[in-house]
Structure 1
Amino acid sequence: MLRRVSLGRLAVWVEDHPDIFPVNYTVDRDTLVFRTGAGTKLAAVKGDTPLALEADGVNAETGIAWSVVLKGRAEEVVPTEEFLDSVARVLFPWQGGRKEHFVRIVPTTVTGRRFAVVQPKAWWISLDEASRAGLE
C-alpha cells in the first residue's frame, strides 16, 4: 500500500513534544526514503528516538480506504552514485528549497487496515442537532 502513494505524515519527537511533518517519500526495497533540508525534521530523525510514518488512501471506485503506520528508526543516507541513479531519481520534493539530505526509515513494525468508507449521512451530525442532543 505504501507504494501506491508518495505522501505521508512523519511523527517525531522534538525536544519535549511530538511533532508531525508531511513528507513525500519513495519505497526502496523494505524501507522508505525521503529528502529534507537542514532543520528540525533532520535533527529529530538523527537521534535514537523511534519515529512513525502514517500514509493512507482510498479507492474511489470501490469505496475501500486503507491506512498504514510504519514505526522504526531513521538513518541519514550517504548518497552513492548507484543510490542517486535509482532512488533519488524518482524522489522529488513537493516543496522548493534545498533538500540535500536523504533519510531512510528502517521499519521495526508495519501495521495497517482496510475499511469501507461510509456515506457522510451515517456519521455526520450538524451542529444544531449535536447541541439539541446534548440538551435532551
Structure 2
Amino acid sequence: MSEPVDPVVILTDEECWERLRTQELGRLVTRVGDVIDIFPVNYVVDGESVLFRTAQGSKLFELTVRDEVLFEVDDHTEADAWSVIVRGRAHALRTSAEVERADGLGLAPWIPTLKYTYVRVEATSLSGRAFERSGEPDRYGVQQY
C-alpha cells in the first residue's frame, strides 16, 4: 500500500525567495492599534528584502507609527498554487545612496502617480506553502488512517 501524498508542501526560505522573485504584486499588511490594513503594492525583491514605492498617505503614515508588517504574495495555475508570507520591519529609504541604488532596480508605479518614497521590508522570517490542486477527496467514503 502506498503512502498518501501530502498536497501541501512547506517551502524553504530559498524556495520562498525564488517564488517572490517571479511576481510583481503583493499585499502589505499593517497594524496600528486595533486597525489592520492591507494594501496591494507592486514590488521588487532586492537581496533578501522587498522594496516598493509609495506616496504620502495612510500606508506611509502607518509604517512610521509601527514598522512591523506582513507581506504576502501568491500565485496559481490549474495544477498548483503557492503562498509566501514575509514577516518583517518596513522603513523608508533615507540616504541618497539608498535611493540611487533603488532607482537602478527598475521599480515603477503601475498607475500614473508620483511615488517618491521607497520602502524596504526587511524580512525577520518567511513562511511558504505550495499546494497541489485537485478535486476534493470523497468526504463520505472510506478514509486512509
Q: The TM-score by the shorter chain falls in which range?
A: 0.7 to 0.9
The match for 1:2 among 17, 20, 26 is: 20
Of 55, 73, 78, the match for 1:37: 55
TM-score by length of 1: 0.77
Q: Which has the higher contact order (CA 8 A, sep 6+)?
A: 2
TM-score when normalising by structure 2? 0.73
Amino acid at match of 1:115: F
Aligned-residue sequence identity (percent) comes to: 38
Superposed CA RMSD in Å reads 1.9
CA offset at residue 59 of structure 1? Answer: 4.2
Verify: 1:91 aligned to 2:119, yes or no: no
1:23 corresponds to which residue? 41
- Once the two structures are superposed, residues 57-87 of structure 1 have per-residue CA deviations (whole angstroms, 9 ceiling, x without a partner) of 1245xx1211000011011113426414522
Letter in 2 for 1:73: R
Q: Confirm or deny: 8 A CA contact 2:73 2:84 kept in the other structure.
A: yes
Matched residues, number? 117
Structure 1 residue 98, shift from structure 2 partner: 1.6
Counterpart Cα distance in 2 of 1:113 and 1:16: 28
In structure 1, list runs of 5 or more residues that go unmatched.
Answer: 124-136
Higher-helix-fraction structure: 1
